[in-house]
Structure 1
Amino acid sequence: MAAGRAELVLVTSVPLRAAARQVGSAGGAGPAGDGARPGRLARRAAIRRVLAQRCVQAVSVTVLVSTACFAVVQTLPGDVAMRIAAGRYGYDGVTAATADAVRAELGLDAPAWQQLLRWWADLLRLDLGTSLVTGRDVGAELALPVASSLQLAAVALLLAVVVGGAVGTAAARRPGGLLDRLTTVWVAGARALPPFLLGLLLIVVFSVHLGWLPAVGHGSASSVVLPAATLAVGLSGLFARVTRDTVAQIGGSAFVAFAETKGLRRRAVLVRHVLRNAGLTLVAYLGVQAVLLVEGVVVVESLFAWPGLGHALVHAIFWRDVPVLQAAAVALALLVVLVNTVVDLAGLALDPRPRRREVVP
């Protein structure tokens, strides 16, 4: 009977696919498992293609961002050597002779294009140079800021996923209910409230009046709560709304109704069918929001004096520390590329189509 059929494309679960392989083998038309190998090869090819594209993107982003930062610094008003000397020795100890000495020491009297070529040559050797203000290696200078920014972003993203995912899933179970309406109000308020204003409100309430949490610093685990909450409030509200819409749409699908008619409990249907199919959409949206999260880190870190990349970037701009400015901006840009890469790979892992398209003769 299997030999007389046309091609059958299976989009069912793993046990049914295993049964289909047995039927195909019994019919003498060759093992159906041969169709799985092209699927795996296609997936590996897609992964290699994504990695190659992101590597090219990382190189181009590094060149463009570093060049743009260098051009911006060159157009800023004021004497760069004077500002660097003030950062080293203080404004009281800065004279014209001191500024001239700093200019000659750092090669700031060379043409701008020579300074840019020198930066690119050092970058090819993976040498980020030295800070013009502190004299330390830029890599060592940015080691703590990179780790601090990753810590802050990870905590904020975790809070957004846990809170937003739970609220959105609960709201999807009763569309139009009280929780659903509150989620809509939450999203509207989160989008209308700027992060710096929300951060100030959290500082006034939880640090000044209640005294529960520190307003600034990086010394304890409690110091990450306020800046992470500032970043997570808006992100979790949007994520809750997207989760609600996605789960509600998938929950009304025919295959979900069929799973319920088989007698599966609602929790099993939610976990095995609804959330599993919603994962691809949620991961893609989370990747877009994570890019915006990297951008919001600059404002929040400056507000809470969090020693991250945004904080280092602001100080580098103020003191005209070009190597630190370029390296910090490039690091932020590469974080965006890394987030996009992780999202693409997660999408390939969650997308069932390449590995489920098995042809059984």
Structure 2
Amino acid sequence: MVGVTTIPPLLDAEETVEATRVERGAVRRGAARPILRVLAQRALQAVSVTLLVSTACFLIVQNLPGDLAYRIAAGRYGYDRVTAASADAVRADLGLDAPVWQQLAGWWADLVRLDFGTSLVTGAPVLHELYVPVTSSLHLAGTALALALAVGVPVGVVAARRPNGLLDRVTTVWVAGSRALPPFLLGLLLILVFSVHFGWLPAVGHGTASNVVLPAVTLAVGLSGLFARVTRDTVAQIRTSDFVAFAESKGLGERAVLLRHVLRNAGVTLAAYVGVQALVLIEGVVVVESLFAWPGLGHALVHAIFWRDVPVVQAAAVALALLVVAVNTVVDVAGLGLDPRPRRRSVPS
């Protein structure tokens, strides 16, 4: 007897639509898994960084030379009014006479409740004390980073179209000069030219759009040169790759190839490099804030260390550390968005 092969019935329209919907849902869930994994890892990293940084700051401030209670009393009442009795009163009031481990355990317990305590000098809540410095630093760093990207990336793309051309050579000199010129010296030159000589922009202050111009330009000059050079090298390398030649052989125009293939692939490298330079920018903000009297986080941290304001020092250091974690998180998520290959490998077959 000849065997008969049974052909399964075809799916009707509703079943086909439902199967397509289920398949697309599985793809979306698989694509979201790497991003969720990154967010979970960064959340755990934020917790560990908070504990390590706050503990290190506490121990460092406790071991600084000088009487901690006397310095705090001087911050409250002034050096000319501080006596041994007032320092002892501050020590008893703040519990500074307790063992170090008890003070640290109290800080950890408050940290679990998201209570950063009060300033030892002003008596105000620490979060209230750091609100303006944190927002001011983010404003300055974000403006400088946006300015550097707006200038550096287009210049790098144009320079990559003609390697060893005039713009390419100017970019090389620009990068070398900006890296050799320290930010504080560049800031002083900008103050002398645009504030002292011409009087166009204020040298110090906060609160208006004109106040952020000079400090943001000071930070952006060096960054824009680096972004231009990295963009130029990456775009020039990608333009010589096989998939770009294949896209051009299919008849795609230069603009389409640049937007669909070159810039998208260059964005992966540029996003990682921007993340690294953003971390350097967070560190460089401290010097620029002091130069332009910008009321940022670095400015607040310096004053808190001088007055031995331990809760403010710990909270400011934790804020800086969490900014680093946040930048790394954004870079990782942006990399997954620009390069879909890691997400596709996680999609179930």
Quick check: TM above 0.5?
Answer: yes
Q: How big is each residue's C-alpha offset from its partner over 1:252-277, in whole Å with a ceiling of 9 and x where there is no partner?
A: 12332333344433222212221112
Deviations 1:306-341 (A, max 9, x none): 111111101101111000000000001000000101
Q: Write the distance in 1 (CA, Å) between the matches of 2:175 and 2:273.
A: 15
Q: Among 87, 102, 121, which residue is 2:90 paired with?
A: 102
**Change in 2 beyond 3 A, CA 1:253/1:116:** same
Q: Confirm or deny: 8 A CA contact 2:73 2:87 kept in the other structure.
A: yes
Q: Could you tell me whether the CA contact under 8 Å between 2:119 and 2:126 is conserved in 1?
A: yes
Shift of 1:354: 4.6
Give 1:202 shift. 1.6
> Are 2:238 and 1:254 aligned?
no
- Separation of aligned partners in 2, 1:251 and 1:183: 19
- In the other structure, the counterpart of 2:322 is 334
Match of 1:271, as an amino acid? Answer: L
Alignment of 1:45-56 (within 5 A): 45-56=33-44
Name the SS for the 1:281 alignment partner. Answer: helix
Q: Which residue of 2 aligns with 1:69?
A: 57
Amino acid across the alignment from 2:196: V
Deviation at residue 353 of structure 1 after TM alignment: 1.8
Cα deviation 1:32-59 (Å, max 9, x = unaligned): 9987665533322211211111011101
What is the one-letter code of the residue matched to 1:302? S
Report the AA paired with residue 147 of structure 1.
T
Deviations 1:278-316 (A, max 9, x none): 111111111111111111111111211111111110110
Given that residues 198 and 230 in structure 1 are in contact (C-alpha distance below 8 angstroms), is that contact kept between their aligned partners in structure 2?
yes
Amino acid at match of 1:304: F
Aligned to 1:170: 158
Which structure 2 residue ranges, 5 or more long, are not aligned?
Answer: 1-18
Q: Does 1:161 align with 2:149?
A: yes
CA contact (8 A) 1:32 1:358 kept: no
Equivalence map 1:275-286=2 (5 Å): 275-286=263-274
Structure 1 unpaired stretches of 5+? 1-30
Correspondence for 2:297: 309
SS in 2 for 1:82: helix
Shift of 1:229: 1.1
TM-score where L is the length of structure 1: 0.87
Identical aligned residues as a percent? 77
RMSD: 2.3
Q: CA deviation at 1:171?
A: 0.7
Q: Secondary structure at the match of 1:217?
A: coil
What is the Cα deviation at residue 203 of structure 1? 1.5
TM-superposition CA deviations, 1:155-191 (whole Å, max 9, x none) = 0110111111011111101100111111111111222
1:258 to 1:124, Cα distance in 2 relative to 1, 3 A: same
* 2:75 aligned with 1:87: yes
Q: Do the aligned partners of residues 34 and 355 (structure 1) sit closer, same or farther apart at CA in structure 2, a change above 3 Å counting?
A: farther
Q: How do residues 345-360 of structure 1 correspond to structure 2 at under 5 angstroms?
A: 345-354=333-342
Q: Secondary structure at the match of 1:285?
A: helix
TM-score of the two chains, using structure 2 as the length reference: 0.89
2:186 match? 198
1:119-268 mapped onto 2 (5 Å cutoff): 119-268=107-256
